[in-house]
Chains A and B, each alone.
Chain A
Amino acid sequence: MSRLRRLTGWLTTVDHKRIGILYGVSAFAFFLIGGIEALLIRLQLAFPRDSLISAETYNQLFTMHGTTMIFLAVMPLSSAFFNFLVPLMIGARDVAFPRLNALSFWIFLFGGIFINASFLFGAAPNAGWFGYANLTSKTFSEGQNLDFWLLGLLVLGASSLIAGFNFIVTIVNMRAPGMTFMRLPTFVWMTLITQFLIILAFPPITVGLILLGFDRFVGTNFYNPAAGGNPLLWQHLFWLFGHPEVYILILPPMGIISEVLPTFARKPLFGYPVVIYSGILIAFFGFGVWSHHMFTVGLGPVADSAFSIATMLIGIPTGVKIFNWLATLWGGRIRFQTPLYFALGFISMFLIGGLSGIMHASPPVDMQQQDSYFVVAHLHYVLVGGSLFGLFAGIYYWWPKIAGRLLDERLGRVNFWLFFIGFNVAFFPMHFLGVMGMPRRIYTYAEGLNWELWNRTSTAGAFLLGVAILVFLFNALVSLRRGAVAPADPWDGRTLEWSIPSPPPSYNFAEVPIVKSRDELWAQKKGRRSAVPRSEASPEAIHLPAPSHYPIVVAFGIITLAAGALTHLWVSVAGAFLMIYGIYRFAFEYRSGAHG
């Protein structure tokens, strides 16, 4: 009975911390699935003319690897941090719309399961994560593979949009007294910028996917050249989303390491305002560079030059950030602990990915590298070397706060070095393979092209990466079972989340803090002024939002609606009714009972 009640508690929770944990656990599960797909890809490529995996399965694996890692692993891992940390860092008791927050999570989870369910029908998406038209047309892809893909991405987009509105309002409107914008922790700033990117970048891909859906389900000709349609329309709509998406993936980890570095260098972040402005500039320019993904389609010298210059411009605020991080370390009393290792890994590896990015910014160079393994190397240096290193820095940094227990420091370092070495062994050789002419997305290759050595090296590195992830899982399980109990402030932190117990109580702050400084907790601890006086008010008196089961009902309605498109109209109708019913009950929930 109590077990059932605990399960219901998780299903109906609107607590941002629990939702953060749900995001983290689900995203990590999807991350493991995406990782297994990557290992299968690497096994197939380890030997020339290998027949481990068929060409069709290979297409499904690389498509699902990309889709999973971007939409189901890295984005929701960032969401896990947004959810758990943003209210704590700004001194709030929850997000602005706790039930919408739960809705975002359940839509994400069901959408992720929906896309992956395609494997059960042998119909996993197979046109690449950017699904170029008109490979995606009914003519060239008859099965339901791409229907799963486009419906799943539409559903996931809704989840990201809802979360975007929620976090914008939370950050702008729920800051503790005295927490001005220029006192917001850098991670919160990067979160805010990311949400603006999400709400402005997702609509174009939504439209692109809707048009694709009309082409596939209704027989329109939006991407059909035979009827005057232009497949490049898809590329524009997709990359108008797709490039800002790159910053959606990298800005939150940049925020994370901007929190980790000052704590472990025991110095405030160097040039805080410049780091913030650089983040804003990166996001702003991010909307004006999408066609650098399209240099080879022949947009003409004027367009190519404009997008090339804009792309190189983005290197400036990015470089500024890197120098700010280095200057933060300079002269600090550095403590070498696992979060810092991963943060330094981020700076060095992201730098390599950034440099090869500058190379692609030049159209003549890009035309040589387009669709080669050089690009695969580049994107993994920014997404694994960048995003994932940053996210792991965050996991090691905030784990004690979230789990209430410490991770083992020695295992953490083993994890880091295996990850760092495995990552470089897996992806650095891809630069060579690209220059030697190996194209992306081929399921096998002939012997005698001199590609064998580097492919085999890369596969070995990928498995080393896999071992690193296993070490992390082991570390996490040991910590949860019998890790040392974490104090409130294990790292001598600077921000408000370290001022409350680990894990935080459901109401977060017994009394809402009054902020007078950028590194508020440091200012309190350094004794320049006394800590905020704790009130005697009992925590039971604090009003918290009540749990609700309508978020999961609405999300289930939405996914049923999507599933109906693949099965029968009546399933869609039932899903739509469930969704509408859920929305009405959701809207009137607070009006019937006590005031919310």
Chain B
Amino acid sequence: MIAEIHAGAHALPTSTGLDHRKMGFWAFLGSECMFFGSLIATYMVYKGKSPSGPQPHEILNIPLTSISTFVLLMSSLLMVLALAAVQRGDRLGAKLWLFGTPFFGSIFLAFQVYEFTTFVHEGLTLQVNLFGGTFFVLTGFHGAHVSVGVVWLLSLWVMALRNRLTPVDATIVEIAGLYWHFVDIVWIVIFTFVYLLQ
């Protein structure tokens, strides 16, 4: 089986021994750091610069978001289990954890939808002040990343259901995992800067 994994991962030998897709994806994550870095910097620059409208301390619900943050963090744990299951050819585990990870991600998204609608009802919109604009754009782009991850992982889950995900394919699950963990880490930074450090 190990020979099989190697045959799949290294169809062509590479100069560094690393898989092309994995290396390309790390480069993509480097680029994503600059993307979220710019969004977070924009939020920080405009912090406290809203002359009117709701302010962060009046509206942010730290206990509620702590719960959704915890759920997202746990989804990363499930992601690790999913990869391990695919790597050792555990089909049942793969099906279970590849569903569990996006399911937890969806719970996080549901919390975000609830949070956004509540805020809009309380008068915080994209247009009302800079806090609204920076908050919704930053957390919205993070939410969009989570959504892409959910769709991606569910696609892998469907492949697992059809028994088309063998240990040879572990690399594609690993790359989805890289993405998922990255999005998770970005949330930790956002949660810290937006919610905890008001």
Contacts and interface: CB of A to CB of B under 8 A. Distances in A.
22 contacts: A96-B20, A169-B23, A172-B23, A173-B20, A203-B34, A203-B38, A207-B35, A207-B39, A208-B38, A210-B141, A211-B42, A220-B133, A221-B130, A222-B130, A222-B134, A228-B51, A230-B46, A230-B49, A233-B46, A237-B42, A584-B155, A591-B164
Interface of A: 96-97, 161, 164-166, 168-169, 172-175, 179, 199-204, 206-208, 210-211, 214, 218-222, 227-230, 233, 237, 240, 584, 591, 595
B27 A169 contact: yes
A165 B28 contact: yes
Nearest to B172: A587
B133 A169 contact: no
B65 interface: no
Contacts of B49: 228-230
B3 interface: no
Contacts of B122: none
B34 A220 contact: no
A168 B42 contact: no
A173 B15 contact: yes
Contacts of A227: 51, 129-130
B30 A200 contact: yes
Contacts of B127: 218-221
B38 to A, nearest CB: 4
Given A199-B30, A220-B127, A233-B42, 15 more contacts: A96-B20, A97-B20, A97-B24, A161-B31, A165-B28, A165-B31, A172-B23, A173-B16, A203-B31, A207-B35, A218-B127, A227-B51, A228-B50, A228-B51, A233-B46
B61 to A, nearest CB: 23
Contact of B15 (A174, A199, A201, A210): A174
A173 B14 contact: yes
Contacts of A202: 31
Contact of A199 (B31, B37, B38, B45): B31
Contact of A214 (B24, B28, B137): B137
B130 to A, nearest CB: 5
Contacts of A200: 30-31, 34
Nearest to B127: A219
B197 interface: no
B126 interface: yes
Contact of A222 (B23, B34, B35, B133): B133
A200 B127 CA distance: 30
Contacts of B137: 210-211, 214, 220
A168 B129 contact: no
